[in-house]
Amino acid sequence: MNRSILVVDDDRKMVDLIRLYLEKDEYQVMVAYDGKQALEIARRFHPALVILDLMLPKVDGLEVCRILRAESRLPIIMLTARTTEEDKLTGLDLGADDYVVKPFSPRELMARVRAVLRRTADESQAGPSLLKSGDLEVDFLSRQVTLLDKDIHLTPKEFRLLEILIRQPGRVFSRLDLLEDAFGYDYAGLERTVDVHIMNLRKKIEPDPEYPRYVQTVYGIGYRFAEPIDAA
């Protein structure tokens, strides 16, 4: 099992503190102090997870996150002193798996690390790598979505929401369920953002977003993916 973690922060004392706690949990730790170095290490050594500060020299954390997510499914925990809801959503929309605000408890960060790695392991065993429903096809290995053989571009969070729903057709997910599964946890107050992401997802995959064929609303509860579904 890969237990290597890349810690990226230009604050060396912060890096040392995080490394201390990670090593206590028997993780192998790599470090980078700027965005350029982070990309080089991630591409060369393929860590199991990246703890990534938002404010970095050379290449900022958001750009590092965007590049890494475009190249791989490498889990990313964003680490930042920015506290606004907009900042959180920007990082999550770029594909971060979780978001920890400074100052933080090292024990809380370790809990987040374990949760993200556990969730990633569960996803890798989630089922078929290719699913079809009607004219919609989702390839989880290549992260490609096609509708009527036309490529559909989804953001990382839109793709994650679609994956959660399509893997369990007919199951009703509450907004909180989807928020926790797609965005991590501890995002109280952001449940309304699920509606926004679902709306954007529908615009891309539904023949008529006003009358959804695939992602259906269950009023007063949340959402479900319509049955039947055919696995390839």
Dist CA 180 CA 188 (whole Å): 10
Q: How far is CA 45 from CA 39, 66, 105, 107, in A?
A: 10, 18, 28, 26
Dist CA 162 CA 2 (whole Å): 27
Closest CA to 169 of 101, 226, 90: 226
Dist CA 157 CA 184 (whole Å): 11
Q: Which domains does the chain have, with CATH numbers?
A: 4-124 (3.40.50.2300), 130-231 (1.10.10.10)
% of the chain at pLDDT higher than 90? 44
Predicted confidence band of residue 8 (pLDDT cuts 50, 70, 90): very high
Q: pLDDT tens digits, residue range 130-184? A: 889 989 999 887 788 999 889 998 887 888 899 989 988 999 998 888 887 776 6
Predicted confidence band of residue 21 (pLDDT cuts 50, 70, 90): very high
Beta strands 230-231; 130-133: pairing state: antiparallel
Dist CA 34 CA 83 (whole Å): 21
Tell me if residue 228 falls in helix, strand or coil: coil
Q: pLDDT tens digits, residue range 113-144? A: 988 888 777 665 556 778 899 899 998 877 88
Position 187 scores a pLDDT of 54
- Region of 134 on the Ramachandran plot (φ > 0 left; ψ -120 to 50 alpha; else beta): left
Tokens of 214: 């695939």
CB 168 within 8 A of CB 225: yes
Q: pLDDT tens digits, residue range 36-84? A: 999 999 999 999 999 999 889 999 998 999 899 888 878 999 988 766 6
Burial degree of 128 (CB within 10 A; 0-12, 13-18, 19+): exposed
HSE toward the beta carbon, residue 43, CA cutoff 13 A? 12
**What's the pTM?**
0.65
Q: pLDDT tens digits, residue range 184-195? A: 655 555 667 888
